Amino acid sequence: MGKPTGFIEYLRELPADRTPVERIRDWNEFHFHMAEPALRQQGARCMDCGVPFCQTGTLVSGMASGCPINNLIPEWNDLVYRGLWREALDRLHKTNNFPEFTGRVCPAPCEGSCVLGITSPPVTIKNIENAIADRGWEEGWIVPEPPTTRTGKKVAVVGSGPAGLAAAAQLNKAGHTVTVFEREDRPGGLLMYGIPNMKLDKRAVVLRRLKLMEDEGITFRCNAAVGDTVQAQQLLRDFDAVVLCTGATVPRDLAVEGRALNGVHFAMDYLTTSAKALLDGGADRAPIHAKGKDVMVIGGGDTGTDCVGTAMRQNCRTLTQIEILPKPPAERAPDNPWPEWPKVYKLDYGQEEAAAKSGQDPRVYRTTVKKLAGDATGQVQSVVTVDIGWEKNPAGQWIAQERAGSEKILPAQLVLIAMGFLGPEPRVLKDLGVDSDARSNIKAEHGCFSTNVKGVFAAGDCRRGQSLIVWAINEGRGAARECDRYLMGGTDLP
């Protein structure tokens, strides 16, 4: 696994990024490629650690620890170190259908649990993964591989996000005839419309993979909203099995005075319309636009960061991002030990861009919204915020308490709510008669993925709740395996 003394000889290095001031002028990806000798040195840093926690894929304290799709990380790190790139790609594809996606947008829980990270900066796993995938495409090693025989079984996959694509790819590999139903005008789900182009290029990266899947025999039906333009019960009649991968798309709302004002939008509506406008010929045509406006982003996480980066590229006037939680520490806190995901402060790409323009991190911590105020036309103009203190109740639970007299009025003509998601939309579940759990997610046990309706399986955020792309791929692959077992009485899928 890498060079025995590599982690002693070489420091952690990442490829350079385009400067924030430069990259906010366009929508192109902003990471530069790293030269091969430097990548091989980074692969050499992978320790012969005995127990590679990086690939365990478990939950520790409710957070991912290690890779949820169990990528064979030490193996392909060693192969990169030795210059065996084709072999590294083969090992990567054994567990990951879409390494060019995860190498770009996964938060890398593998690095958070890297053994080297106990005492030193961890191995640059995510960057090496992305480099392997990009090398595979550049060298022409990634080509369509349709199954040699077909089983005669037909499977409908509802939703074309990462879980749906993973399920479709695996079921097609098993020889089933797969049709993916997508309600939007393009397939890809979150990958197409939920993640901005500067993080994941649609034409060069996403559409390239979708074209390969089509060449392998998968059919994508777009503008096909199951429960609306496509009757849910018809799927049960026309297909031998159905895999639901609809995502958790019901957003958590903000119940405050002024919520109905114009200019207040859910983050995903903002990101989706911005992505569509860019793909349809012009980012400035987006119906929700930040140009010349004071923008308020409510909530953190990747979605909040993507709103920040999008607003910066739309040339907003000012930008403020508020988070109800305290500012994370610079280093792991005592109650956040390795191999848990490190809950530490970092300046992500969007905040880095906002700071380059304003001179400071746009995030304001321990703050929440009291109310929204508008003008006579019903357009939002300002946000009233209040400071939050966190105190423990007698049961030991942390409770948010407003600080009296801490109200502030901040200008905002565009307010974006990025407070997470509650679960899947209920229409399809109701039409199919699929049971939900107490959290409104589809009731289907992880590992078997089968619902209460015979032949109907569920995977991804619609089953587990809002989560990471790698968990969605994990579940899509797992649901495909169990669906194949249901159809054929056994399975060779991993």
Q: Which of 378, 401, 419 is the last residue of a domain?
A: 419
Q: What is the pLDDT of residue 368?
A: 97
State whether 286 and 409 are in the same domain. yes
Q: What is the pLDDT of residue 117?
A: 95
Kindly report the CA angle at 277 between 273 and 281, in degrees rounded to 5?
170
Task: Give the tens place of pLDDT for each residue, 326-360.
Answer: 999 999 999 999 999 999 999 999 999 999 999 99
Q: Are 164 and 180 contacting, i.e. CB atoms less than 8 angstroms apart?
A: yes
For residue 149, tell me if it sits in a domain: no
Task: Give the tens place of pLDDT for each residue, 429-469.
Answer: 999 999 999 999 999 999 999 999 999 999 999 999 999 99
How many Cα atoms sit within 13 Å of 355 on the Cβ side? 13
Q: Are 245 and 469 contacting, i.e. CB atoms less than 8 angstroms apart?
A: no
Q: Of all residues in the chain, what percent carry a pLDDT higher than 70? A: 100
Q: Of all residues in the chain, what percent carry a pLDDT higher than 90? A: 96
* 3-class SS shares of the chain: helix, strand, coil, % to 5: 35, 20, 45
Q: What is the pLDDT of residue 63?
A: 86
Q: What pTM value is reported for the model?
A: 0.96
Q: State mean pLDDT over 80-88.
A: 98
State whether 163 and 99 are in the same domain. no
State whether 32 and 114 are in the same domain. yes
State whether 130 and 23 are in the same domain. yes
For residue 428, tell me if it sits in a domain: yes
Task: Give the tens place of pLDDT for each residue, 213-242.
Answer: 999 999 999 999 999 999 999 999 999 999
Provide DSSP, 193-233.
IIS-TTTS-IIIIIHHHHHHHHHTT-EEE-S--BTTTB-HH
Q: Are 96 and 67 contacting, i.e. CB atoms less than 8 angstroms apart?
A: no
Q: Into how many domains does the chain fold?
A: 3
Question: What does the mean pLDDT of the chain come to?
Answer: 96
For residue 493, tell me if it sits in a domain: no
State whether 273 and 400 are in the same domain. yes
State whether 260 and 384 are in the same domain. yes
State whether 328 and 406 are in the same domain. yes
**74 pLDDT higher than 70:** yes
For residue 164, tell me if it sits in a domain: yes
**247 pLDDT higher than 90:** yes
Q: Which of 138, 171, 196 is the last residue of a domain?
A: 138
**Structure token digits, residue 205:** 């990266």
For residue 143, tell me if it sits in a domain: no
Q: State mean pLDDT over 363-376.
A: 97
Task: Give the tens place of pLDDT for each residue, 97-115.
Answer: 999 999 999 999 999 999 9
pLDDT band at 16 (very low <50, low <70, confident <90, very high): very high
Q: Can you say how many angstroms the Cα of residue 20 is from the centroid of all Cα atoms in its chain?
A: 22
Task: Give the tens place of pLDDT for each residue, 282-292.
Answer: 889 999 999 99
* Cα-Cα end-to-end distance for the chain: 24
State whether 219 and 338 are in the same domain. no
Task: Give the tens place of pLDDT for each residue, 142-183.
Answer: 999 999 999 999 999 999 999 999 999 999 999 999 999 999
State whether 69 and 128 are in the same domain. yes
For residue 1, tell me if it sits in a domain: no
Quote the domain boundaries for residue 275. 253-419
For residue 147, tell me if it sits in a domain: no
State whether 181 and 242 are in the same domain. yes
State whether 166 and 219 are in the same domain. yes
**1 pLDDT higher than 70:** no
Q: State mean pLDDT over 46-50.
A: 90
Q: Which domain CATH number covers 193?
A: 3.50.50.60
State whether 43 and 189 are in the same domain. no
Q: What is the pLDDT of residue 20?
A: 97
Q: Which domain CATH number covers 19?
A: 1.10.1060.10
